């Protein structure tokens, strides 16, 4: 058994209470390690450390901050295989996806390191002579980061790298299901040269550790990725304290397949989007909206392919689909299967926990496809977060897009068509934050914004692109008057204007 610790002010320390929690492999139940079960005192110590470090870190030049991130990226790249294997053991995704998780952190680090020599502000003309105006970015202060288990390296990198390059200090509370990966990531940042107190790690549960971080008065921003239910509670807490909050939450993503689509290409995108990461992505496809003219062909081919997907430990080369994260996830997925049956959906493939042989030791659920689904069913509206896919009929592109838009979520949509005019109509009319044409619902890139509409988020965009800076900075507008006399702006008097000009 390996024991891991919290990281506070540059030191590895246990929880004040001495309590711990276990991290286990979802494929076979093997113990990965033991980490602190942190409480309010631990969070308070971490926030105090971050607050003390902030004044010095914000004055550290942004290019130098970026150099530290580059060193972290070099370490990540050198250890990608090792980290990928560790990630598979703790989270369950197949090794190729686990290495991709690490690669996304590498990509994000390289992108954000470039911002260390940019951090663009604004420089615009003044309305008065001999006066200069600009706007620059200031760091917020102490940032609280709460991350999910499904991308235990990639999603934290979306938040940590921009927060650091912008000059913030931070406290990170990772998901209780993947705390060991968080420890390993912080070790890399420590090795890269992040000063003591700039990043602090407290492992534990949402209650009390996450709640204490949200409530702490010195934390200026909460950046949260997770369920919509939890995000809503965090938003209310932050509103009470006038605290900034960035939320990236659930999805009910759809792939629209029109009657002129390349059906075989669409099937490839559907299989990857629905059953990659065992359906445990916020961008996973959980609905296929198929034009009635091609629905039968699509469903028949899709069912045949899905039934052949091989479940198993993600480290095995024979595995196509790994486990889901824990027993609670298995029970939730199966509960939705029973709901679907009661509402009249037909289970075409799967529909049960996989318990054959070694699979009985882990949390495996067979890739499941529902037919005869109508848009108002719960399986067509609610996030399941597992390998469950509903197939819905549409009679036209307009109807398909309407079905797509009529959920409480708005993260990712895909449309398959060979007609460029139809593609552009979809770009205009689909109301999700991400849209793919002739590709699946997953595959975002770090140089572009990531996020969604409606119940998927609160308007901020993380995961990439220059807009991520908006989350982690404050604007400061500066005016410099070098005229040597008082110039009164915004005085609507021609006589006064003429005197100023003279």
What does the pLDDT look like over 242-292, one tens digit per residue? 999 999 999 999 999 999 999 999 999 999 999 999 999 999 999 999 999
Asked if residue 346 is part of any domain, the answer here is: yes
For residue 497, being part of any structural domain is answered with no
Three-class SS state of 58: helix
Does 226 share its domain with 301? Answer: no
**Pick from 176, 239, 250, 233: nearest CA to 209:** 176
How many of the other CB atoms lie within 10 Å of CB of 298? 22
Check whether residue 245 and residue 257 sit in a common domain.
no
User: 321 is in which domain, residue-wise?
Assistant: 253-437
pLDDT class for 297, splitting at 50, 70, 90?
A: very high
CA distance 44 to 212: 8
What is the rounded CA–CA span in Å between residue 309 and residue 314? 13
In a domain, 335, yes or no: yes
Tell me: do 329 and 219 sit in the same domain.
no
pLDDT of 299 higher than 80: yes
pLDDT of 463: 80
Q: What's the chain's average pLDDT?
A: 96
Q: Residues with Cβ < 8 Å from 331, sequence gap 6 or more?
A: none
CATH number at residue 76: 3.40.605.10
**Per-residue pLDDT at 77 exceeds 60:** yes
Q: Is 491 helix (H, G, I), strand (E, B) or coil?
A: coil
219 and 262 co-located in one domain: no
pTM above 0.75, yes or no: yes
Alpha-carbon distance 253 to 339, whole Å? Answer: 19
What integer is the mean pLDDT of 212-226? 98
How many domains, in total, are found in the chain?
2
- Res. 441 pLDDT band, cuts 50 70 90: very high
Q: Are residues 269 and 245 in the same domain?
A: no
494 within a domain of the structure (yes/no): no
What does the pLDDT look like over 243-252, one tens digit per residue? 999 999 999 9
Write the pLDDT tens digit of every residue in 375-392.
Answer: 999 999 999 999 999 999
Q: Are residues 193 and 123 in the same domain?
A: yes
Of the candidate ranges 93-102, 343-352, 480-489, the one whose mean pLDDT is the lowest = 480-489
User: Catalytic residue numbers?
Assistant: 248, 282
Q: How does residue 499 score in pLDDT terms, banded at 50, 70 and 90?
A: low
CA dihedral defined by 91, 96, 102, 103, rounded to 10 degrees? -160
Instruction: Please give the share of the chain, as a percent, with pLDDT higher than 90.
Output: 95
How much is the pLDDT for 308? Answer: 98
Residue 210 counted as domain residue: yes
The structure tokens listed for 487 are 């110039």
List 132's β-bridge partners, or say none.
125, 480
Same-domain check for residues 336 and 353: yes
Whether residue 266 is found in the same domain as residue 158: no
Bridge-based pairing of strands 412-416 and 434-437 is: parallel
> In this model, does residue 467 exceed pLDDT 60?
yes
Omega of the bond leading into 208 within 30 degrees of 0 (cis): yes
**Other residues' Cβ atoms within 10 Å of the Cβ of residue 358:** 13
Residues 38 and 131 placed together within one structural domain of the fold: yes
SS (H, E, C) 405-467: HCCCEECEEEEECCCHHHHHHHHHHCCCCEEEECCCCCCCCCCCCECCEECCECCCCECCCCC
CA atoms 200, 144, 90, 103: torsion sign: negative
My answer on whether 361 and 265 are in the same domain is yes
Residue ending a domain, among 405, 437, 469, is 437
Please check whether residues 132 and 266 belong to one and the same domain.
Answer: no
* 238-258: b (≥16 Cβ within 10 Å) or e: beeeebbbbbbbbbbbbbbbb
Do both 385 and 402 map to the same domain?
yes
List of residues 6+ apart from 445 with CB closer than 8 A: 107, 464
| CATH at residue 294 | 3.40.309.10
- For 300, counting Cβ atoms within 10 Å of its Cβ (0-12 exposed, 13-18 middle, 19+ buried), the class is exposed
Beta-bridge mates of residue 13: 6
Give the pLDDT score at 496.
53
pLDDT digits (tens, 9 = 90+) for 228-237: 999 999 999 9
Does 442 fall in a domain? no
């Amino acid at each position: 058994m390996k024991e891991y610790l919290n990281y506070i002010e540059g030191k590895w320390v246990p929880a004040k209470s001495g309590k711990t929690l276990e991290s286990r492999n979802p494929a076979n139940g093997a113990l990965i390690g033991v980490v602190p079960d942190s409480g309010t005192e631990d969070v308070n110590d971490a926030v105090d450390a971050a607050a003390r470090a902030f004044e010095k870190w914000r004055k550290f030049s942004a290019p130098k901050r970026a150099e530290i991130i580059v060193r972290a990226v070099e370490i990540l790249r050198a250890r990608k295989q090792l980290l990928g294997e560790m990630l598979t053991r703790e989270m369950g995704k197949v090794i190729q996806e686990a290495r991709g998780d690490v690669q996304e952190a590498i990509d994000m680090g390289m992108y954000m390191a470039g911002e260390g020599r940019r951090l663009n502000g604004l420089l615009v003309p003044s309305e008065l002579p001999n006066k200069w105006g600009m706007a620059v970015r200031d760091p917020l202060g102490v940032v609280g980061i709460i991350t999910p288990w499904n991308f235990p390296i990639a999603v934290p990198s979306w938040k940590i790298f921009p927060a650091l390059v912008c000059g913030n200090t931070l406290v990170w509370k990772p998901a209780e299901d993947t705390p060991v990966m968080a420890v390993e990531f912080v070790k890399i940042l420590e090795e890269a040269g992040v000063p003591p107190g700039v990043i602090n790690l407290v492992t534990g549960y949402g209650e009390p550790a996450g709640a204490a971080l949200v409530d702490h008065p010195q934390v200026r921003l909460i950046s949260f990725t997770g369920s919509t239910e939890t995000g809503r509670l965090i938003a209310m807490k932050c509103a009470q304290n006038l605290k900034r909050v960035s939320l990236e939450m659930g999805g009910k993503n759809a792939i629209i397949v029109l009657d002129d689509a390349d059906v075989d290409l669409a099937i490839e995108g559907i299989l990857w989007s629905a059953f990659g990461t065992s359906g445990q992505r916020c961008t996973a496809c959980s609905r296929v909206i198929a034009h009635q003219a091609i629905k039968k062909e699509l469903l028949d081919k899709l069912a045949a392919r899905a039934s052949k997907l091989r479940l198993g430990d993600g480290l095995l080369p024979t595995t196509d689909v790994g486990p889901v994260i824990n027993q609670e996830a298995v029970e939730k997925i199966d509960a939705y299967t029973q709901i679907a049956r009661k509402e009249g959906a037909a289970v075409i493939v799967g529909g049960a926990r996989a318990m054959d042989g070694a699979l009985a030791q882990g949390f495996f659920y067979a890739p499941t496809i529902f037919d005869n689904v109508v848009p108002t069913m719960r399986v067509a509206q609610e996030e399941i977060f597992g390998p469950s896919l509903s197939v819905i009929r549409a009679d036209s592109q307009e109807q398909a897009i309407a079905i797509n838009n009529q959920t409480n979520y708005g993260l990712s949509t895909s449309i398959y068509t060979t007609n460029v005019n139809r593609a552009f109509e979809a770009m205009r009319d689909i109301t999700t934050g991400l849209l793919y044409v002739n590709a699946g619902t997953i595959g975002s890139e770090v140089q572009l914004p990531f996020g969604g509409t409606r119940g998927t988020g609160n308007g901020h965009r993380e995961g990439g692109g220059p807009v991520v800076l908006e989350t982690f900075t404050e604007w400061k507008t500066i005016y410099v008057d070098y005229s040597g006399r008082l110039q009164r702006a915004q005085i609507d008097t021609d006589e006064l204007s003429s005197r100023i000009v003279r």
